[in-house]
Amino acid sequence: MTHMQADGETPPLVLVRGVGKSYPGVRALRGVDLDLRPGEVHALVGENGAGKSTLIRILSGATQPDEGTIALRGAPVTFASPRAARDNGIVTIFQELAIVPGMTVAENIVLGNEPAGGPGRQLYDRRAAEALARETLAALGCENEIDPRARAGTLSTGQKQIVEIARALALKAPVIILDEPTASLSGKEADALLAILRRLRTDGTSILYVSHRLSEVLELADRITVLRGGAHVGTRPTSAFGDPMDLIEMMVGRPLDELFPPRNNEIGALVLKVSGLTRAGVFQDIGFDVKAGEVLGFAGLVGAGRTEIMRAVFGADRRDGGVIEKDGRRLDIRKPADAIRNGIAYIPEDRKDQGLVTSLSGHENLLMASLADYCRAGVVSRGRARRAAEEVARRLQFRGQLAKPARTNSGGNQQKIVIGKWMLSRADVFIFDEPTRGIDVGAKAEIYRQIQSLAAQGAAIVVVSSETSELVHLCHRILVVSAGRIEDELVFEAFDEQRILAAAFRGHTLPTAAHAK
């Protein structure tokens, strides 16, 4: 808006055409186009699972696309490794910063590209390194703030980020990609970073910028590309968007009514009641209740503390205070086994890392939480266990192979194994943490059907999801968590995605907010 305008005449520096990438069980990216012009800040936005990270990984050489082309200044390129992308002038700064804490700032800035001197040019030239560090830091306007001789480990997160940007600058990289650079910064640090990015743009550097902070995106970017479900929705100049809500509409897409079964309308008695749940620095004074047959949603941004809350209810993480009651009885939950014994099930966010033992068969995974029911004196009654597992698989319309290792099944079928495990443990409170992340639309619809069917059978359901539209169509009530606190509560006649998003951002945009995680 203020700078480089979309005049259609500037040839793109980076041209991405029809790029696609599949992982086992999920098509992460398909037919995505993107062009990055010299000296522009180009924002990449989308919900979780929209394909932003995959696209960045491809551009940074961390992974290779299955299809499509990338051209740099008109010449086709393929990046076999991160090194190849870097040598071509594309430097990516990931959320997980690549800083060696034990080395000095200067050493970090020249890392992998050390100035050499002495016989055979094999000696590290500390002077040249420090001079280069000072020069790049000055170009970023941070020469007074960061000492090239300081140990990188002593810097704040924001300063470390600046060191990484300085490293890109020292390489004279024409393209810098930033993945959620402000996610873990305080308001002040984020402002400082944005100022640096503007400065880089003025100097002609192209910046591809991924962020969940939409107001920040609108403030900084020249153009915005929206991805949804791995596909390219559109690229518009920032001026085409009035406020974050326009952007959100484009990210979320049309309401997906046909995906969602009708809500269960038989709500019963109170089942689970949580009050005063607190864990210092993570979440404070969380209170909520769920009734039989009810689906309660937890909305919020990634890192708002929702997963941590649910893990504490389930006994997987410690809590500093709070009472958990079920059916009017106070529970003493110290470990997952306590929660399971009391009929509480937790279906974790990360299937592969937490939900499944992928090397074991579907049968064994299904029985993992209820094996005691199928044992006599510690010996498993195979036939009975097998029949129970097969019965539950049938009920869930499982279409993989139970006898094979769980990893060989598709994402949707893996999720069914996790749900089936808890059906076998006779749970009546189901906590779903991001149940549909990374699975395709068809499998999502089946998960929604399972959730409503569990509710219809009288289970109390809690769903944590970062996809607001999913919650709006699934839940009876939605609580919005922001920076570890419940900010808002909505009932389904009055669901309002904009209000939910506003509440979700509320705690995080406060300059003092210390972010959980």
Partner 1 sequence: MHTYRETIGGRMSTGSWRESLAGHLRGRGMELALPIATVAMVAFFAASSDVFFTGQNFRNIGIAASGLAAVAFGQTFVILTAGLDLSVGSIVALVSVVCAFVMREYGIAPGIAAALVCGAGVGVLNGFVITRFRVSPFIATLAMLSVMSGLALNLAGGVPIPGLPPGFGLIAYQSFLGIPVPVIIAAVTLLVAELTLRATRFGRHLRAVGGNEEAARLSGIPVEKIRIAAYAFCGLTAAIGSIILTARVSSGQPTLGATLPLESIAAVVLGGVSLAGGRGSVVNVAVGVAFISILANGLNLLNISSYTQMMIIGFALIVAVALDQANLRRASGG
Which residue ranges make up the site for partner 1 (CB under 8 A)? 23-24, 314, 316, 335-337, 339-341, 346, 348, 353-360, 364, 367-369, 371-372, 375, 378-380, 382, 393-401, 407, 421, 425, 453, 457
* Closest separation in Å from C-beta 273 to partner 1: 22
* Contact in structure between 235 and 225 (CB atoms under 8 Å): yes
State the CB neighbour count (10 A cutoff) for residue 463.
Answer: 25
Using only C-alpha atoms, the chain has a radius of gyration, in whole angstroms, of 25
Angstrom distances, CA of residue 415 to CA of 207, 420, 474: 37, 9, 18
With respect to partner 1, which residue has the nearer C-beta, 182 or 425?
425
Distance CA(25)–CA(120), nearest Å, equals 52
* Closest separation in Å from C-beta 446 to partner 1: 11
Phi, psi of 362 (to 5 degrees): -55, -40
With respect to partner 1, which residue has the nearer C-beta, 367 or 490?
367
With respect to partner 1, which residue has the nearer C-beta, 201 or 416?
416
With respect to partner 1, which residue has the nearer C-beta, 109 or 340?
340
DSSP string, 185-248: S-HHHHHHHHHHHHHHHHTT-EEEEE-S-HHHHHHH-SEEEEEETTEEEEEEEGGG--SHHHHH
State the CB neighbour count (10 A cutoff) for residue 156.
Answer: 12
* Closest separation in Å from C-beta 82 to partner 1: 15
Distance CA(420)–CA(435), nearest Å, equals 13
* Closest separation in Å from C-beta 85 to partner 1: 18
With respect to partner 1, which residue has the nearer C-beta, 288 or 346?
346
Distance CA(417)–CA(389), nearest Å, equals 9
| Three-state secondary-structure class, residue 348 | coil
With respect to partner 1, which residue has the nearer C-beta, 369 or 478?
369
* Closest separation in Å from C-beta 264 to partner 1: 14
* Closest separation in Å from C-beta 421 to partner 1: 7
* Closest separation in Å from C-beta 394 to partner 1: 4
The DSSP element (H or E) to which 478 belongs, if any, is strand 477-482
With respect to partner 1, which residue has the nearer C-beta, 46 or 315?
315
Phi, psi of 367 (to 5 degrees): -90, 0
